[in-house]
Amino acid sequence: MSQSRATKRRPQQDAPDRPARLLAWYDRHRRTLPWRAKAGERADPYRVWLSEIMLQQTTVRAVGPYFEKFVARWPDVTLLGRASLDDVLRMWAGLGYYSRARNLHACAVAVTGDHGGVFPDTEEGLRALPGIGPYTAAAIAAIAFDRRTMPVDGNIERVVTRLYAIEEALPQAKPLIKEMATTLLGPARAGDSAQALMDIGATICTPKKPACALCPLNDDCAGRIRGDQETFPRKAPKKSGVLRRGAAFVVTRGGELLVRSRPEKGLLGGMTEVPGSQWQAGLEDAAALAQAPELKGVGRWHRKAGVVTHVFTHFPLELVVYSASVASRTRAPDGMRWVPVETLDGEAFPNVMRKVIAHGLDL
């Protein structure tokens, strides 16, 4: 069959006992996760929501310690809604994609102020909150409120495209994947069905070498029967962003470092950084150096050997790092401030800045 004909063919839903098989498997093999309710217990919407926001574009392993820290400090949404944004950003530092932390805080404020500290229990109500898109709304509705809906994350996409051998490439295939994933829901326990698929995707139907022998869906998995299951999901070729270049300036005054806050809106909004140039494709070193902060007593910048590299979702970045030290009374330029080096861990630096500082201070 040609690719175009295969693309148009709709997968068959021909195994009505799949939902029951899925739930039976989940009851025996479910993962234990810090945010997950124990078998038979009701899920806490706050924990489900917090984990789903943290897990966006981040692994379960990376999220675990952050989740524990957050619920220890803010055990419910009302307490988080009363926290300052700065505190939330500080606790979030290192998890990346900082707009999520800002939305997390805005959402907690909205739930606390507009909903009396109680999350809405429908997809529609959840989607009206800051930072909650279609996937997160479906995940919370299914897992916390047992609404009959299927949230489709990357793991579920992989399982479903293999199960039905969906030839259409991502992202165009998303509506079809959602439709087919929904056929795996039984009459009840939507949240458990979704979590079963998530677990199968994470532990059995892995990107490479899926352990099909252990899979409760293996009898009638189209990908396994064809023998090309690893080739799903099909993906459209990736466009990689253009390399941007820039300079960062690591300035010390005794035991203090010169920093500033990024603008509230945009990439890494509100996060802390050392002063730097713009990040532009093809930026020459001399043009980047010309954007150094004006500081009394800096005659010459010392260029550190090598560069710091970082990859954002839509572009790679290369930063040249310059260092200087200034006299103890030197004033910070407008919009900048000195912070003690020993308290840097508590500052809301994004990962790229932590790399820059480590490079600049030879840590």
Q: Which of 48, 71, 156, 159 binds ligand SF4 (CB under 6 A)?
A: 159
The yes or no reply on residue 204 touching ligand SF4 (CB under 6 A) is yes
The yes or no reply on residue 221 touching ligand SF4 (CB under 6 A) is yes
Element (H, E) at 168: none
SS3 209: coil
Q: Which of 47, 178, 224, 359 binds ligand SF4 (CB under 6 A)?
A: 224
**Cβ proximity of 326 and 295 under 8 Å:** yes
The yes or no reply on residue 181 touching ligand SF4 (CB under 6 A) is no
Choosing from 52, 167, 256, 347, the catalytic residue is 52
Which range of residues in 13-21, 129-137, 157-165, 167-175 is near ligand SF4 by CB under 6 A?
157-165
How many other β-carbons are positioned within 10 Å of the β-carbon of residue 44?
18
Q: How far is the CB of 67 from ligand SF4 (least distance, A)?
A: 27
Find all residues with CB under 8 Å of 237, minimum gap 6, and list them.
none
The yes or no reply on residue 180 touching ligand SF4 (CB under 6 A) is no
SS3 269: coil
Distance CA 92, CA 94 (A): 6
Exposure letters 157-174 (e unless 16+ CB within 10 A, then b): bbbbbbbbbbbbebeebe
Chain centre to alpha carbon of residue 266: 16
Q: Active site includes 52?
A: yes
Element (H, E) at 340: strand 336-340
The yes or no reply on residue 193 touching ligand SF4 (CB under 6 A) is no
SS3 260: strand
Beta strand pairing status for 244-253 and 336-340? Answer: unpaired
The yes or no reply on residue 229 touching ligand SF4 (CB under 6 A) is yes
Which C-beta is closer to ligand SF4: that of 22 or that of 292?
A: 22
The yes or no reply on residue 163 touching ligand SF4 (CB under 6 A) is yes
The yes or no reply on residue 212 touching ligand SF4 (CB under 6 A) is yes
Q: Which of 22, 23, 215, 258 binds ligand SF4 (CB under 6 A)?
A: 215
Q: How far is the CB of 17 from ligand SF4 (least distance, A)?
A: 15
Which are the catalytic amino acids?
52
Query: Site residues (CB under 6 A) for ligand SF4?
Result: 159, 162-163, 204-205, 210, 212, 215, 217-218, 221, 223-224, 229
